[in-house]
Structure 1
Amino acid sequence: MAGYIGPRPKLLIRVPVDLSEIIYQHKSSSMKTTLLFIDKLHFNKKRSILVILLCTTALTVWKYDLINDTTHPVVLFVRRQANNFQYYAGKSSIYFNVKVKYDFVAFKKKPGWHFVVFPCHYICRQYSADVTVRFTTNASDIIGADAVFFTTGPMELEEWEALHRYRSPGQVWIFTTQEPAAIIPDFLPPKVYRYNTYNWSFTFHSTSDIHGAYGWYTPHDKPRSNTRGMNWYQIKPKFACWISSRHCEGLVWDRTKFVKDLNKFIPIDMYGVCGNATISRNRDIAKGVLKKYKFHVSLENSCCSEYLSEKVWNALQTWESVPIVLGGTKEEYDKYMPPHSYIHADDYKSMEELANYILVVGRNESLYNSYFDWRNIGTVQQQSFNDRFPVFQQGACKVVDKFEQHKRSPIRKSFDRYGPHWFGICYRCGEHSWIQDYNFWGERLLYSKTWEDNRTLYWML
């Protein structure tokens, strides 16, 4: 396993079981971590207080000793049997029960979030793991890393060859994305490396080795009454809206045209780059505006199995409205979303029939409110970036969890991006012909009715 990568030197202090003496050893500046191990397996109340006092005193001594050396930040790792917790003293942190270190590398394209500052240092308490996540565009930097994350960005054959040349024995390569296969052809290895590139996948799909779903629905143990006393119909004076951030021209199907055609039958305010309405960039102000709508048009950028993105979960949880959906199959929406909480476009034989039903619901108070009855029997939870991307703590700890699981079982040898667990999960939108008419049929995509579940997308290579 690769060593810890970071700027911190090692400071080792061991406190014996009887707490009668302290051995202070200041390692050379070439060491990479600052550690305090309190090796005590059984604590009573008095000794616990003594340990905390000792930690505080030691921390003060170290700060004084290193006050003129900014390259020596102090981090304390204290081991205590069956009890993991974190203790803060000033700007330093005391983490209990740290045993193992992981070094992860994000390769090629830096994530676009301005708040990601590399290298990232995390503690995964369940396994007492110290994790570093680095970013690089240099293939040789992956040497010695435990895992390499591939996010997005085109790759040339020479880059693949260099990566395989520098790959360390036992190193795990993880394909990572929250977008569907139909619009993310990046990081597709040349066919010569098809079966020996990726070990694991970290995506939204449940077949992934590491699952990062956008959200889920959880039923209550017992039904609850409408304790909020909410009349949803009365507090939502506006009818419907659509929010778009990109892909106006469409990659797999023309959802912009779909919305504009639907707008011929029902009123839809179109926000974002694909519409003409504007909204504040202030999150709270925007939320206040969007919560006034009865319906949110929540169309996915492509139709792929289990691809229920933030659009539907925002509609349910953040804006508390009724989403009009198209993306996954009706069966998948029924499986993952609350019962009677959405309107699926493919349930209707024409655009006009869909629009007429939306109008009926939007004009009938009791019928509209029935789309919120699920809130008495369950709740929805939307996952954040932290959970869905391995450069953040929760995501990185999911990867650690996978490593720890595979100490007891073999690591899967290959994740095949060409195969049914990736390209095979996407299909053309719609069972009804009126929806299929919005699909693109260019040279880039070819749909087949002959493989697997007859809903498979082949990428033309």
Structure 2
Amino acid sequence: MGLNIRWVYGVATIVGFFVLMVYSNSMNLHFVDMLYGFATNVTLYTEYFNLGNTTRSTGILNTTFSYRTTSETSQDIHPRLPSEKPKKFKIPPTILMWNWANPYQMKNSKLPDHCGGCRFTTNKTAFNESDVVILQDQSLTLDVIEFPNRLPHQVFVFRCGENPCHTFAINRVNRDLTMFNELFNMTITYRRDSDVTGPYGCWGNGLIKSTQNLQTTNKTKVAVIVASDCKRVGAKFRKIYTDELIKAGLKLDRYGKCFGPRYQENLRELLTQYKFYLAFENGIHCRDYITEKFWRNSLAYGLVPVVWGSSKADVVRVAPPGSYVHVEDFNSPKEVAEYLDYLDKNDTAYQEYFKWRTANKSENCGISINCDLCNLVSKGHRGRPMKFTDWWFGTENKECISTNMTEMTNYFNNFYGINER
């Protein structure tokens, strides 16, 4: 009696699926991803079973990973598909924060529905089930590259609040971040060209309302700066500029490790005694880089920011008009010191810098970065292929990322009117 050919095919299919499941489990692979790879590109079949002498530890967290380029994907646990065709995210998506600085803030939390309802987790064992993986810039050092390879359906997000001159990795690997060129496909930074922009502050109703009752009269102290870093290129020059201001006669008090011991008292109580805060950044002309020195330490605390480091064009684009003094409007530190002395002695002119607080600004800014990200991916955004170094460094101003101290000293002296010593 002959065997029914359909019955034979059925048994063979069941056995084949069983073998694949056993094999995928033994090799720490995702069975579903294997099937997806086979269906998309038959040549991947041989790649899965031609792993050579590669050894893998059991469990994703016990495996030491290093990121590989596309030419080496045959050695990856989850080879990247040639088309990078993404699978659909679960709705709502799961977002894994791989190396969150403050994990207690978002651990296993869920965003409200108006943000897309994404589930956030810091549990690294949830990597395979995560749709989005956020990597802080602190991960980008050769000695802590322990995160796995991106799966075909995942979005890897580069999140950073520092400028390129001070990114963690730069200080360790001398700016050679080409190994990350194919890793990220989405970005969250302060820069306007990021997929999700997370500025340090913004001019909107929240800022206006919070400053209505701040005292701006009868202040007895003139200018203050708090800075922790004056050692690296870029940051060194802000100390030199403050030296020049003091030499020109400005009554300036300096706090922080840049000038002495770290200031550990109540910062707000200290700053509100002064008329001017020196919002001096740690780099020169880094694109869109305007930090809490401007938004919190100055405007939110009722001081007039004196801006150095951020370009005049960037500040004009986002700041309340007439709310700040920019050093690039003057020819030298001496002229800046003289102008601040004039404002100190002329309260009517000084109070002009607070007129922005009476504006009726309807813009509501400052929405949560996590909310923006969740809404973006929930609506189908999957990022874009990118060469990380071309974007992070290649589009940056030269004076922001230069490490040539001689070159930068000449630029600084010429641009800011510093007399050579």
State whether TM-score is above 0.5.
yes
Equivalent position to 1:298, from 260, 279, 293? 279
Equivalent position to 1:169, from 146, 152, 163? 152
1:398 equivalent in structure 2? 372
Letter of the aligned partner of 1:273 in structure 2?
K
**3-state SS, counterpart of residue 270 of structure 1:** strand
State how far apart, in whole Å, the 1-side matches of 2:163 and 2:408 are.
14
Is the CA contact (8 Å cut-off) linking 1:241 and 1:268 kept in structure 2?
yes
Deviation of 1:145 (Å): 1.3
State how far apart, in whole Å, the 2-side matches of 1:308 and 1:325 are.
9
2:119 equivalent in structure 1? 131
State how far apart, in whole Å, the 2-side matches of 1:235 and 1:356 are.
20
Deviation of 1:118 (Å): 6.7
Indicate yes or no: 2:149 matched with 1:156.
Answer: no
State how far apart, in whole Å, the 2-side matches of 1:367 and 1:118 are.
45
Is the CA contact (8 Å cut-off) linking 1:294 and 1:321 kept in structure 2?
yes
State how far apart, in whole Å, the 1-side matches of 2:410 and 2:195 are.
26
Deviation of 1:421 (Å): 5.5
The alpha-carbon distance between structure 1 residues 447 and 268, as it changes in their structure 2 partners (threshold 3 A), is closer
Is the CA contact (8 Å cut-off) linking 1:205 and 1:306 kept in structure 2?
yes
1:183 equivalent in structure 2? 166
Is the CA contact (8 Å cut-off) linking 1:330 and 1:344 kept in structure 2?
yes
The alpha-carbon distance between structure 1 residues 403 and 231, as it changes in their structure 2 partners (threshold 3 A), is closer
Question: What per-residue deviation string (whole Å, max 9, x for no partner) do you get for residues 207-227 of structure 1?
Answer: 11011111112489xx99x98
Indicate yes or no: 2:304 matched with 1:322.
Answer: yes
Indicate yes or no: 2:195 matched with 1:206.
Answer: no
Superposed counterparts of 1:249-260, under 5 Å: 249-254=231-236, 255-260=238-243
Superposed counterparts of 1:232-311, under 5 Å: 232=216, 234-244=217-227, 246-254=228-236, 255-264=238-247, 265-276=249-260, 281-282=265-266, 286-303=267-284, 304-311=286-293
Is the CA contact (8 Å cut-off) linking 1:180 and 1:426 kept in structure 2?
no
Question: What per-residue deviation string (whole Å, max 9, x for no partner) do you get for residues 354-411 of structure 1?
Answer: 2111111121111111111111225699988xx6xxxxxx3332221111232xxx63
1:95 equivalent in structure 2? none
State how far apart, in whole Å, the 1-side matches of 2:177 and 2:265 are.
41
**RMSD value, Cα:** 3.8
Counting aligned pairs with the same residue, the percent is 20
Is the CA contact (8 Å cut-off) linking 1:240 and 1:297 kept in structure 2?
yes
Letter of the aligned partner of 1:337 in structure 2?
A
The alpha-carbon distance between structure 1 residues 263 and 127, as it changes in their structure 2 partners (threshold 3 A), is closer
The alpha-carbon distance between structure 1 residues 249 and 362, as it changes in their structure 2 partners (threshold 3 A), is same
**3-state SS, counterpart of residue 104 of structure 2:** coil
Equivalent position to 2:397, from 426, 439, 444? 426
Moved more, 269-278 or 345-354: 269-278
Equivalent position to 1:143, from 116, 121, 128? 128
Unpaired runs of 5+ in structure 1? 1-98, 388-393, 430-438, 449-461
Deviation of 1:133 (Å): 1.8
The alpha-carbon distance between structure 1 residues 380 and 266, as it changes in their structure 2 partners (threshold 3 A), is farther
The alpha-carbon distance between structure 1 residues 381 and 361, as it changes in their structure 2 partners (threshold 3 A), is farther
**3-state SS, counterpart of residue 203 of structure 2:** strand
Whose strand fraction is larger, Structure 1's or Structure 2's?
A: 1
The alpha-carbon distance between structure 1 residues 274 and 447, as it changes in their structure 2 partners (threshold 3 A), is closer
Equivalent position to 1:416, from 387, 392, 403? 387
2:350 equivalent in structure 1? 368
Deviation of 1:248 (Å): 2.4
State how far apart, in whole Å, the 2-side matches of 1:367 and 1:261 are.
24
**3-state SS, counterpart of residue 372 of structure 1:** helix
State how far apart, in whole Å, the 1-side matches of 2:301 and 2:288 are.
22
TM-score, structure 1 length as denominator? 0.59
Higher RCO (CA < 8 A, seq sep 6+): 2
Indicate yes or no: 2:103 matched with 1:106.
Answer: no
State how far apart, in whole Å, the 2-side matches of 1:411 and 1:241 are.
45
Letter of the aligned partner of 1:403 in structure 2?
V
State how far apart, in whole Å, the 1-side matches of 2:111 and 2:205 are.
32
The alpha-carbon distance between structure 1 residues 130 and 209, as it changes in their structure 2 partners (threshold 3 A), is closer
Unpaired runs of 5+ in structure 2? 1-89, 412-421
The alpha-carbon distance between structure 1 residues 193 and 269, as it changes in their structure 2 partners (threshold 3 A), is closer
Deviation of 1:277 (Å): 7.7
State how far apart, in whole Å, the 1-side matches of 2:157 and 2:408 are.
26
The alpha-carbon distance between structure 1 residues 341 and 159, as it changes in their structure 2 partners (threshold 3 A), is closer
State how far apart, in whole Å, the 1-side matches of 2:143 and 2:257 are.
35
Equivalent position to 1:348, from 310, 315, 330? 330
TM-score, structure 2 length as denominator? 0.64
